[in-house]
Amino acid sequence: MARLLPICSSSKGNSVFVGDSRSGVLVDAGCSFKALRDGLNLGGIPFDAVKLIVVTHEHSDHIKALMQITKNTELPIYASKGTMNEMLRCGHILDNGNLHDCSELSSAPTDIEINWFHTPHDSAESVGYTFSWSEHKIACCTDLGYVTKEVKDNIIGSDTVYIEANYEPYLLRTNPKYPTFLKERIASHTGHLSNNDSADFCAELVKSGARNIILGHLSQENNTPSDALKAVSQKLLSNGMKTNIDYTLNVAPVMNTGKYIIV
């Protein structure tokens, strides 16, 4: 049975596995190579079940382990052309012959149908992904300043959605550690989704048939799991949707504890 397994999730490291104990896809590799292997094992997934990696963008909290992966494995890695060029230019990854443009995902070594779409983020060419097989569709979408029509068109209709809820506006606004320019960058249209932004989109997702919502990429400085859950659950309740009846709602842990979502 397929599962969605968040391995790490925060502004410091992000990685999600989609698949089962025999075969699946890793979305980003933003923690150490050891942490990736350990996180997979906690969820009952051996590392050799990973058949390919898809990358959302080149920021370090999404590609930290890629250098070691390209040094030690022959796993195919897919990314947008802009992301791939930027990773190579900055020396974040070895060009070992296994790097591919995500436009080539139709020929990837997996039975899962993978599609990609652009997301508005301050990077070379940020993207999100959907994964489809039999009657299931999973969407993974983080690092976007707002929900564009392209994002909606690709995610709406998914039964399981891993979606960003990066910051609580009050906590960001009053954070004494963050300079004004950084606060403005996070809250901009090329930054991140707030809890309220995520809540609004989650209401649309559940109305369109989403059964499982996982909130990811929470900032450890400007958010808390309870704040994110409260914002989303209250928004959905105001739309007549009840937790554990109409949908399930979870927050991805900073580091995997073995918990996963069955799909």
Instruction: Give Cβ neighbours of residue 184 (< 8 Å, ≥ 6 apart).
Output: none
Question: Within its chain, how far is the Cα of 36 from the centroid?
Answer: 15
- The position carrying tokens 């997934």 is 45
Q: Which domains does the chain have, with CATH numbers?
A: 3-262 (3.60.15.10)
Please give the chain's pLDDT, 263 residues, in tens. Answer: 688 999 999 999 999 999 999 999 999 999 999 999 999 999 999 999 999 999 999 999 999 999 999 999 999 999 999 999 999 999 999 888 899 999 999 999 999 999 999 999 999 999 999 999 988 999 999 999 999 999 999 999 999 999 999 999 999 999 999 999 999 999 999 999 999 999 999 999 999 999 999 999 999 999 999 999 999 999 999 999 999 999 999 999 999 887 777 77
Residues pairing with 50 in the sheet: 24
Measure CA of the first residue to CA of the last residue in the chain; give whole Å.
7
How far apart are alpha carbons 166 and 148 in whole angstroms?
Answer: 17
C-alpha to C-alpha distances, 251 to 7, 49, 125, 224, nearest whole angstrom = 12, 24, 26, 10
